[in-house]
Structure 1
């Protein structure tokens, strides 16, 4: 089954053959004990599971985070900024989190303005979020707000 140059000959091979590009850019080496905190090495998939966040917002208080995205981007609503030491920060909200629901309202296909209105008027915010940095990056490339 080997061809002329010592490489396999796939002509009679019964399945489709996919040639992958060579692996040219491995992440930089870092000590194993630091890898769990490094996004290039971290394979701790629990980071990407949905989480529940509960925030109480007194009248006139700030949310402690900003959102971007919405129906126009087709990717959803994402947390774009979390103010350090805010209640949102302490509750575990982070940049790159996708907001799945707020107070049982589906946020995966909602207008930006409607999302802002719900977040601003609620006194208590019960959110389902999941960390989704890949779509967050795509989101940033597609939209202005």
Structure 2
């Protein structure tokens, strides 16, 4: 998306490119959004961000659990952040959607592939966006089988 305004005679034209933004979903009525615990009127809270998580060795615990994958017809989300870990210090939170890890898009990965990528290196550059609505809609009403409800601790 681009925003443009007409410059005055003494100014040059300015073009601002904004990243993609997912508005709150339709199932949360506008009058309930301010009281919803996951809603924030600050758009910056929902824009993609990149963090770099470093750990001493690939076998060291990452500090969060994930859920989702293409076999569940879902994006991959952070489902738990373990206290006092690097992940918590970096600001990961439940409802963060993992968009990419080390340049690999997570949009079409199945769960085992995502886990393999996350566990394969000690330096993890993750692109995330906070999307609690998608996380809640995907997981709140669904009953998972034992296999899918067991989170992966990393």
Write the deviation string for residues 40-90 of structure 1: whole angstroms up to 9, x where unpaired.
763111110001010012123100000000012222100000011210011
Q: State the match for 1:133 in structure 2.
A: 132
Aligned residues: 114
The CA distance in 1 between the partners of 2:102 and 2:92, in whole Å, is 16
List gaps (5 residues or longer) in structure 1. Answer: 1-22, 28-34
Q: State the match for 1:13 in structure 2.
A: none
Write the deviation string for residues 7-27 of structure 1: whole angstroms up to 9, x where unpaired.
xxxxxxxxxxxxxxxx9xx55
List gaps (5 residues or longer) in structure 2. Answer: 1-28, 150-154
Q: State the match for 1:20 in structure 2.
A: none
TM-score computed with the length of structure 1 as normaliser: 0.70
- Deviation beyond 2 Å, 4+ runs, structure 1: 37-42, 141-145
What is the correspondence of 1:38-77 to structure 2 with a 5 Å cutoff? 39=37, 42-59=40-57, 60-77=59-76
The CA distance in 2 between the partners of 1:40 and 1:69, in whole Å, is 19
Structure with max Cα Rg: 1
Q: CA RMSD in A?
A: 2.4
What is the correspondence of 1:1-145 to structure 2 with a 5 Å cutoff? 39=37, 42-59=40-57, 60-140=59-139, 141-142=141-142, 143=144, 144-145=148-149
TM-score computed with the length of structure 2 as normaliser: 0.66
Write the deviation string for residues 110-136 of structure 1: whole angstroms up to 9, x where unpaired.
010000011111111000000001110
The CA distance in 1 between the partners of 2:127 and 2:39, in whole Å, is 26
Contact kept, 8 Å, 1:74 with 1:109, in 2: the verdict is no
Contact kept, 8 Å, 1:72 with 1:111, in 2: the verdict is yes
